[in-house]
């Protein structure tokens, strides 16, 4: 199977080339030319497998130039060996008679980014070897919180890689900052940047295009790479958990093979819900794909009207990982729904960069209507939903997950659709203690890491081990740079 650029179908690459390069030369996203179909008995076969075995089975169908035994090694490293706090890795929890919650935050950083970022380093380093790259990859990340920590933990002590994370000095939560500054590993670096997330991100983009720096580092045996969510190596591991969830529901006899289930996904960059779309196309009986947004409702409008328009106010919300106005992975959906019409995709993307807006064809519009439903919810509704889920189901959820539960409720009361639905839970509530505590009625909040214990006491749910351990960990990184001096920091680290 080959991978092609969403902006040029003639730009064809093997899986390992697609993963090694990350982005296509023309700025498009590398995407499978054909999607593999699950065989007639694939779901039965996977039903009794472990999560790691299911991951090998699914990824094998996409990665021609990797053997199953290579993939077994990676899945064991990524999801085995106590890295996740439950053997199921991505457990499905019953909420009520027809609602299930797929918990994707049992990994080392308590956020769903672990599902992909525990796997990507293995796929990436193997792809580099397969393509005769001998230099060490230096992964540069600008983060507003979750991605940075998950990438550090994923790349920590992985051979032939260094990772350097830049975060905005005043733009991440206290817990997120502590998670990054205490990061262990011999190949990691963390540094804050004076300014906001945009300053950090613009700075990192400038490093990627700094030719003098590139040459200097090439001389020292390094090249820059990215752990960005548009790399195919991040999308693929996400397809696995949708298939796995369906198999779990079959195994527990909640559904019969062939029964439809809807999925409801809290969405930002469109990577997670895109993976659900791919699982559906492969043959998993998924009904509606319900796209949930916070007050930044650009995707809600797009899915309801066919017009994507980023010209709108940006809001900071209590679900910050969904505060996004340009959802990059949508480009892959447009490629699929246009019948792989690269010229059409190119036109939309040009319009987006020039005017911030595009309108899809009636043909795409009608496909979107059949596949998706969409809704949004503001912070007040989000908090109410956290409170309601706690009171009614004794289930503690984080603000991102709450957005999805709220949107599902809206969808059900509007449509009457009672199809069993999997709500995707993307972060541990302990990553957002302050907002979660307030939402369950506690207003006198503890300071620093004591707030973790406060939430545990109030809820009776134990603090996840990786967060509880933060208190004992020494601070390893405390540097701050001005955004014009980020290159110096890179040179210092890669001496
Ligand atoms: C990244 C993230 C999301 C959004 O996922 P996308 O794949 O970007 O749509 C939602 N919730 C949390 C907690 C996240 O970290």
Strand partners, 137: 161, 223
Residues of the chain with pLDDT > 70, as a percent, come to 100
Q: What is the pLDDT of residues 111-166, one digit of tens each?
A: 999 999 999 999 999 999 999 988 999 999 988 778 999 999 999 999 899 999 99
Cα–ligand 1 centroid distance for 269 (angstroms): 7
Q: What is the CATH number of domain 90-110+257-431?
A: 3.40.50.1100
Q: What is the pLDDT of residues 216-225, one digit of tens each?
A: 999 999 988 8
Q: Is 426 in the pocket of ligand 1 (CB under 6 A)?
A: yes
Q: What is the pLDDT of residues 116-126, one digit of tens each?
A: 999 999 999 99
Please tell me the residue having the least CA distance from ligand 1 atom 15.
321
Q: What does 13-81 look like in DSSP terms, one character per residue?
A: E-HHHHHHH-B-TTS-BEEESSPPPPPTTHHHHHHTS-HHHHHHHHHHTT-TTS-HHHHHHHHHHHH-T
Q: Is 321 in the pocket of ligand 1 (CB under 6 A)?
A: yes
Q: Is 399 in the pocket of ligand 1 (CB under 6 A)?
A: no
Which ranges of 356-432 would DSSP assign to H, the alpha helix?
362-371, 379-393, 399-415
Distance CA(323)–CA(109), nearest Å, equals 20
Please tell me the residue having the least CA distance from ligand 1 atom 1.
321
Q: What is the pLDDT of residues 433-485, one digit of tens each?
A: 999 999 999 999 999 899 999 999 999 999 999 999 999 999 999 999 999 99
Predicted local confidence at residue 173, as pLDDT: 80
Q: In 466-485, which positions are buried (b, 16+ CB within 10 angstroms) versus exposed (e)?
A: bbeebeeeeeebeeebebee
Q: Is 107 in the pocket of ligand 1 (CB under 6 A)?
A: no
Cα–ligand 1 centroid distance for 264 (angstroms): 13
CB under 8 Å to 158, separation ≥6 — which residues?
121, 122, 125, 187
Cα–ligand 1 centroid distance for 488 (angstroms): 31
Predicted local confidence at residue 208, as pLDDT: 85
For a mutational test of ligand 1's pocket, the pick from 114, 175, 239, 269, i.e. the residue with the most ligand atoms closer than 8 A to its C-beta, is: 269
Please tell me the residue having the least CA distance from ligand 1 atom 14.
321
Q: What is the pLDDT of residues 225-266, one digit of tens each?
A: 888 888 999 999 999 999 999 999 999 999 999 999 999 999
CB 193 within 8 A of CB 169: yes
Distance CA(173)–CA(177), nearest Å, equals 6
Q: Is the pLDDT of residue 171 over 80?
A: no
* Mean pLDDT to the nearest integer, 423-439: 96
Q: How many other C-beta atoms are found inside a 10 Å radius of the C-beta of residue 317? A: 21
Q: In ligand 1, which atom is closest to the CA atom of 146?
A: 15
* Mean pLDDT to the nearest integer, 79-84: 93
Q: Is 238 in the pocket of ligand 1 (CB under 6 A)?
A: no
pTM of this prediction?
A: 0.95
CB under 8 Å to 75, separation ≥6 — which residues?
52, 53, 55, 56, 59, 119
Strand partners, 190: 165
């Amino acid at each position: 199977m080959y991978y092609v650029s969403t902006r040029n179908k003639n730009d064809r690459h093997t899986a390992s080339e697609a993963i090694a390069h990350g982005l296509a030369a023309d700025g498009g996203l590398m995407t499978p030319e054909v999607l593999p179909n699950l065989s007639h008995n694939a779901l039965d076969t996977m039903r009794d497998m472990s999560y790691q075995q299911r991951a090998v089975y699914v990824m094998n169908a996409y990665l021609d130039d990797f053997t199953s035994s290579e993939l077994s090694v990676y899945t064991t490293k990524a999801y085995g060996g106590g890295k996740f706090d439950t053997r199921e890795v991505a457990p499905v929890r019953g909420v009520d008679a027809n609602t299930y919650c797929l918990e994707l935050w049992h990994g080392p950083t308590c956020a769903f980014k672990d599902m992909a970022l525990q796997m990507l380093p293995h796929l990436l380093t193997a792809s580099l070897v397969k393509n005769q790259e001998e230099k060490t990859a230096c992964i540069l990340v600008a983060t507003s919180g979750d991605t940075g920590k998950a990438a550090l933990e994923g790349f920590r002590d992985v051979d032939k890689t260094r990772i350097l994370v830049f975060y905005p000095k005043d733009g991440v939560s206290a817990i997120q900052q502590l998670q990054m500054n205490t990061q262990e590993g011999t190949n990691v670096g963390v540094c804050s940047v004076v300014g906001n997330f945009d300053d950090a991100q613009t700075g990192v983009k400038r490093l990627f295009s700094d030719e003098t720096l590139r040459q200097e580092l090439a001389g020292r045996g390094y090249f820059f790479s990215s752990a960005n969510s548009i790399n195919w190596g991040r999308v693929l591991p996400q397809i696995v958990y949708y298939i796995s969830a369906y198999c779990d529901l079959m195994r527990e006899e909640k559904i019969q093979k062939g029964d439809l289930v809807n999925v409801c996904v809290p969405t930002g960059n469109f990577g997670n819900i895109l993976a659900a779309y791919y699982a559906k196309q492969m043959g998993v009986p998924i009904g509606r794909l319900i796209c949930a947004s916070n007050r930044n409702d650009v995707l809600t409008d797009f899915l309801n009207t066919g017009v994507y328009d980023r010209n709108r106010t940006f809001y900071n919300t209590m679900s910050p990982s969904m505060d996004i106005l340009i959802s990059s992975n949508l480009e892959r959906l447009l490629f699929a729904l246009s019948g792989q019409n690269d010229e059409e995709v190119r036109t939309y993307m040009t319009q987006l960069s020039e005017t911030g807006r595009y309108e899809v064809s009636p043909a795409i519009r009608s496909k979107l209507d059949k596949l998706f439903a969409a809704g949004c919810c503001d912070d007040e509704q989000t908090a109410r939903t956290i409170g309601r889920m706690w009171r009614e189901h004794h289930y503690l959820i984080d603000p991102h997950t709450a957005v999805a539960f709220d949107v599902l409720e809206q969808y059900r009361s509007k449509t009457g659709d009672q199809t069993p639905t999997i709500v995707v839970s993307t972060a541990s509530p302990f990553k957002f203690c302050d907002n979660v505590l307030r939402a369950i009625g506690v207003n006198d909040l503890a300071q620093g890491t004591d707030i973790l214990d406060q939430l545990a006491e109030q809820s009776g749910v134990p603090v996840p081990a990786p967060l509880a351990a933060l208190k004992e960990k020494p601070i390893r990184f405390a540097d701050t740079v001005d955004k014009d001096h980020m290159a110096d920091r890179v040179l210092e680290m890669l001496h």
